[in-house]
């Protein structure tokens, strides 16, 4: 069983939908698919918030960022101005420090094109990586796609060494093609896929 940390913004999305409620639906779908999920509503009911967030990120295998315009803007602002860091920026920056593989789950239709993401660190880091179309409401299908990616980039995957076991230099082309894939700790190659009906996966890992 892999485990995931679910990071999201509580603001409504561009369509007026509750991002928190939709993130909760994703959380439940991932649990039904057999994943162990850290979700703030469940894990931060008591105790110190920052201790809870750091413990959750440390214990989880993969960090999932629920991508909305508000989320990107909050993280970018927090990374640029330390005094303005809210929980989204703290979670994201700590996941980077701990070298967690990150999956972007896009929750707003206009952000399916990464060229439309707000400029800044999040777009630089995730815009060209793996992300999932979660703009619809078929949460079972979305969770299946997320699990497919998790199986390829999780440190538990035998073909994807954890950062602690990575060599000090970039592996050969048979292992990783770019430094960005090296950071993901993925032993496979990433290829761009065309979107087809019923297939919410935008980019996938190709073995």
For the chain, which residues make up each domain, given as ranges?
Answer: 3-206
Summarised one tens digit per residue, pLDDT across range 72-86 is: 999 999 888 777 678
Give the torsion through C-alpha atoms of 116, 117, 120, 126, to 10 deg: -120
pLDDT in the model for residue 35: 92
What band does 89 get if pLDDT is binned at 50, 70 and 90? Answer: very high
Under DSSP, the state recorded for 12 is B
Helix boundaries (H) for the chain = 19-32, 40-43, 49-59, 69-80, 87-97, 121-126, 139-153, 179-184
Summarised one tens digit per residue, pLDDT across range 146-158 is: 999 988 887 665 5
Nearest to 134 by CA among 143, 147, 125, 122: 143
Q: Give the span between the Cα atoms of 110 and 117, in whole angstroms.
A: 9
Q: Give the span between the Cα atoms of 86 and 197, in whole angstroms.
A: 37
pLDDT in the model for residue 52: 83
Q: Rounded to two decimals, what is the model's pTM?
A: 0.72
Report domain 3-206's class.
Answer: alpha beta
pLDDT in the model for residue 79: 85
């Amino acid at each position: 069983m892999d485990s995931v940390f679910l990071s999201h913004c509580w603001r409504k999305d561009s369509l007026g939908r509750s991002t928190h409620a939709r993130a909760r639906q994703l959380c439940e779908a991932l649990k039904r698919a057999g994943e162990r999920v850290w979700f703030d509503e469940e894990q931060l009911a008591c105790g110190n918030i920052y201790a809870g967030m750091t413990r959750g990120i440390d214990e989880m295998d993969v960090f999932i960022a629920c991508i909305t315009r508000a989320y990107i803007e909050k993280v970018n602002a927090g990374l640029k101005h330390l005094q303005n860091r809210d929980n989204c920026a703290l979670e994201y920056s700590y996941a980077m420090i701990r070298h967690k593989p990150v999956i972007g789950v896009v929750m707003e239709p206009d952000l399916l094109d990464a060229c439309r993401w707000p400029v800044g660190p999040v777009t630089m880091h995730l815009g060209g990586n793996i992300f999932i179309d979660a703009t619809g409401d078929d949460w079972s299908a979305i969770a299946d796609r997320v699990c497919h990616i998790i199986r390829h980039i999780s440190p538990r995957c035998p073909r994807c060494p954890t950062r602690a076991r990575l060599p000090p230099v970039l592996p050969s082309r048979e292992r990783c093609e770019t430094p960005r894939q090296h950071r993901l700790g993925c032993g496979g190659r990433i290829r761009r896929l065309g979107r087809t009906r019923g297939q919410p996966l935008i980019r996938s890992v190709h073995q």
